[in-house]
Structure formats: C-alpha cells, structure tokens
Amino acid sequence: MRNARDIANELLVLKAQSGDAAAFDALVRHWSPILLRYCSRLTQNADVAQDAMQTSWLKIIKGLKRLDDPACFPAWALRIASRVCTDNLRRKIRRRKTGDALGAIPQESQSSYNDEALDLRVALGRLGADERILVGMFYGQDMGVGQIAVMLGVPQGTIKSRLHTVRKTLRAQLEEGDQK
C-alpha cells in the first residue's frame, strides 16, 4: 500500500533521474537524515557514519539513472549505505588484525561501560556487522521481512530465522548483564 509520501518520493526520484537539480536537492534533504541515522546505527561512530553517508550519496548519484523502479529507491539507497558501512567495518577489522593503532578501541570507551548493566546499545555493538545491518533494517528503518529478503536476495524464512537468532542473542546478553 503506497501512501502520499511514497508517491512524492517516487516523483522526486523520477525528476532527479531526468536531471532536475531541485528535485535531487529535495531528495538529498529528505534522505540524508535517514541515511545518517542508519549509518550511525551500523557503525556506532558519528564521524564514520557521516563519511559513510557521504560515500553512499556519491554511489547513489552515480547509479540513480540506472534505477529502474523509483519505488525501490528506499531499499536501494539503504542497501548502498549497508555496503559502504560493511566495507568500513571490514577495513576497521583488518586494521585491528594488523595492529594498526587507528583500529584499536580507545581505553576510555572500554572503561565507560558499566559491567552491572549491559544495555541494548552495548549488546548491539557485540553483534556482527551483518546482524547489526539486519536489526537496523528491521527495527531502525521499519522494513518488513519481505523487503529485507528482496534486498538481500534470500528467502523470507531465512530473514525470519536470522531475526529470531539475533533476538535470542540479544536477550541472552541482556539477561547476562542483569545477573552480574
């Protein structure tokens, strides 16, 4: 079921694809905060999220004319942002493995977490990048299981199973934190 906001968004995409600079500016104004929040959830770092959002926009600009269905713009843009964030996380992990000081977790960040109260943000941080992306899509962007399945190219049952596993993991981590 499409609403007026979805139709207006599709119209902006169509106009932007045809070269309308004002429509593209409106698209950027509307979607930048959404992409930034999404990237922030995935990266858990404001600076990295800002960079990821900007890189995502560069990729969106390059590929916008090739987008066949303007109704797919939200999922398409979030998929691009997911890939950019995942690439950033992979680079960060590689730096940690090679001993790069830039990839290390600052000591003050480690000591700021209270061992007695493991909150949701810490539990989410312990998830893998793919799991955080899934949680971000489902809960953060209110995407349905069907949308996520299409976006990731996997069956809906797989998405349901992965969400169930993530919820179970988070619940266990939160319960463990309460028992300390």
Residue 1 is predicted with a pLDDT of 66
* Residue ranges in the chain modelled with pLDDT below 50: 100-110, 112-118
**3-class secondary structure, 85:** helix
Same domain flag for 4 and 88: yes
User: Which residue, 55, 78, 104, sits at the end of a domain?
Assistant: 104
Same domain flag for 84 and 129: no
Same domain flag for 1 and 83: yes
Provide the domain limits for residue 92: 1-104
Residue labelled with tokens 């969400």:
163
CATH number assigned to the domain comprising residue 144? 1.10.10.10
Q: Are 43 and 52 in contact (CB under 8 A)?
A: yes
CB atoms within 10 A of CB 63: 12
Cα separation, 110 vs 129, whole angstroms? 19
Tally of domains within the chain: 2
Whole-model pTM: value is 0.58
pLDDT tens figures, 110-136: 453 344 334 577 777 788 878 887 887
Same domain flag for 68 and 149: no
